[in-house]
Homo-oligomer: A and B are copies of this chain.
Amino acid sequence: MHQPEHLKSAGLKSTLPRLKVLDLFENSKERHLSAEDVYKQLLASGEDVGLATVYRVLTQFEQAGLLVRHHFEGGKSVFELNKGDHHDHIVCLQCGHVEEFHDPAIESRQQKVATGLGFAIRDHSLHIYADCTKKKCPHKR
């Protein structure tokens, strides 16, 4: 299991549900998880946390900077560990797999555009929805 210090240093007291959730993100196969994903995976591995707690903990982790929240299509929020970097996402329409990318040219053009319109960027989201061109979509879920 995870070390309590990780949470303490984030200003959160080290509780069992929080450690379990953090652990899941560190060890999960998928980087991007919804509240429901987290809840079900914890149940599946025998750990039982309340769904409300999962929602609360995810929001707290987001505020503490441990997780980043994304709003892909489909309505539900998905979270991932905050690696400190910024990246955008390309979502495979066949299997839902999420690929990450970072393009400095895109980022700097955004700055140009926003500045030109008299805005100071606070945040942005770029989501590309696409089909995998490989013969068989390699990202089976």
A interface, CB within 8 angstroms of B? 71, 73, 75, 90, 92-93, 99, 101, 103, 105-106, 109-110, 112-114, 117-134
Contact = CB atoms under 8 A, between A and B. Distances in A.
The binding surface of chain A is classed by DSSP as: strand
Contacts of A120: 130-133
Contact of A121 (B71, B106, B110, B128): B128
Contacts of A90: 113-114, 117, 119
Contact of A128 (B99, B119, B128): B119
A131 B122 contact: yes
A119 B124 contact: no
A115 to B, nearest CB: 8
